[in-house]
Chains A and B, each alone.
Chain A
């Protein structure tokens, strides 16, 4: 079964420290993975997708097919990075895409 696991419900770091949010997936095909972020009182929004290999707000994520992981990293955390982060796996069937989400990790960056 397709599944996304985010092992940490809560993660707390200090400003300026490196941060890594873990994501593991279970999928037999070629995965398309995303990180979504939800800041306080804002809607869920796309942070980055693995296929674009881009860096957004200093965050990067590398797909490791051997370890079936897609961890989100940032070398120097900022207070404004405090938010809920969701890893998601895209499943496309007949042109229809559905996202399978992990349970999320709440990141708190302390001053």
Chain B
């Protein structure tokens, strides 16, 4: 099976702009989670979607939002970008089997805000 894919891989934006990142999960995976990775804070959970519904949300401001489509593809949006939003954004899709859930990560989208 193809792994989790994320587009674009790199992005440069300026403060105040908005950005949309896309994630395609592994086929058959219905859960998609997003994480932000920065040198200072490490990997932090943003939100999780399952069957087009947000089930869980991390401690991020409302400028960070997401959605999931019927084919399980997910997008996250950041509005009114700030310098501190510069980070690697990771998407993970997961599948539960035998009572165990495993998250499979994509390569990430590196966002630079100038």
Q: Which residues does A use to contact B, with CB under 8 Å? A: 43-46, 49, 51-52, 86, 90, 92-104
Contacts and interface: CB of A to CB of B under 8 A. Distances in A.
A98 B105 contact: no
A43 B48 contact: no
Given A43-B108, A102-B42, A97 B103 contact: yes
A97 B42 contact: no
26 contacts: A43-B3, A43-B105, A43-B107, A44-B90, A44-B105, A45-B104, A45-B105, A46-B102, A46-B103, A51-B100, A52-B100, A90-B101, A92-B101, A93-B56, A96-B31, A96-B55, A97-B48, A97-B103, A98-B45, A98-B58, A99-B43, A99-B103, A100-B45, A101-B35, A103-B42, A104-B42
A43 B103 contact: no
Nearest to B48: A96
Contacts of B89: none
Contact of B55 (A49, A95, A101): A95
Nearest to A90: B101
Contacts of B45: 98-100
Determine which residue in A49, A52, A94, A99 has the highest number of CB atoms from chain B within 10 A of its CB, and name it: A99
B33 interface: yes
A97 B58 contact: no
Given A97-B94, A98-B58, A49 B43 contact: no
Contacts, number: 55
Determine which residue in B56, B58, B100, B107 has the highest number of CB atoms from chain A within 10 A of its CB, and name it: B56
A90 B102 CA distance: 10
A102 B94 CA distance: 20
B106 A43 contact: yes
Contacts of B100: 49, 51-52
B43 A86 contact: yes
Contacts of A103: 42
Interface string B80-113: 0000000000100010000011111111100000
